[in-house]
Structure 1
Amino acid sequence: MKKITSTELKELFNTEKIVNVIDVREVDEVATGKIPGSIHIPLGLLEFRMHELHKSKENVMVCRSGGRSGRASQFLENQGFKVINMTGGMLAWEGDME
């Protein structure tokens, strides 16, 4: 499984590379803030909403600390998606939030 740090993701936003950020936290967790432009799909709904994601684009998975996003990354990899797990999750995120 590919991994990225929160700092590397923040730097990636400064490039022209388009990356989809998928937040797999629960609704109450996302209410405290999420990475700007990220798509919220709770982990429990990922199997039913993966059709909303593009297999050809990089999808960075994010959760609170990195565990759930790791499980989401493994699941999506098995389905043929390009995924990267953000280590440390939102606990490590020091960028803007919406």
Structure 2
Amino acid sequence: MKNLKTTAAEMVKAARTRIEEIETSDLIGMVQDPNIVIVDIRDIRERQRNGAIPGSVHAPRGMIEFWVDPDSPYFKEVFGQADKKYVFHCASGWRSALTVATLQDMGFEAAHLKEGFSTWAEKGGPVEKIEKK
């Protein structure tokens, strides 16, 4: 196999140096804040298997750039709320770090859950069951 110029781990490390990372315990304290929009970028199967943060918006990783771009035919109004703080999360914080770095490059301000959903329940975060559709 051909060597890569940059590994995925190096990309995540670089992203984390320039984005806002939120600790699990801090986001647990923000769950009821109406000014916070928690965005879950995990695959639907991950959500069904492990549950989700109540009230979180599900936005599949592959559509994020299109859903936040008001000029895109795929734009979602939930991302057009200028007065909200957006916090993205995945399972372990890798995908969300890359996502937030990309969104910042686009001019969309956001933060991410540093450890992802992996420590959410064990640190006392509420979890809702997601049913298969």
Q: TM-score, normalised by structure 1?
A: 0.89
Percentage of matched positions with identical amino acids: 30
Q: Which has the higher contact order (CA 8 A, sep 6+)?
A: 1
Instruction: Note the residue ranges of structure 1 that are not aligned, 5 or more in a row.
Output: none
> 1:68-98: CA deviations, max 9, x gaps?
0001101111122221110110101021111
| Matched length | 97
1:64 alignment partner in structure 2 = 91
In structure 1, C-alpha distance between the alignment counterparts of 2:60 and 2:38, rounded to whole Å: 13
Deviation above 4 Å: which 4+ runs of structure 1? none
> 1:27-73: CA deviations, max 9, x gaps?
10111211001111111111222232136221101000000000110
Matches within 5 A, 1:39-78: 39-50=57-68, 51-52=75-76, 53-54=79-80, 56=82, 57-78=84-105
Q: 1:22 aligns with which of 39, 57, 67?
A: 39
Structure with more of its chain in strand, by fraction: 1
Give the superposed CA RMSD: 1.5
Structure ID, larger Rg: 2
In structure 1, C-alpha distance between the alignment counterparts of 2:104 and 2:22, rounded to whole Å: 15
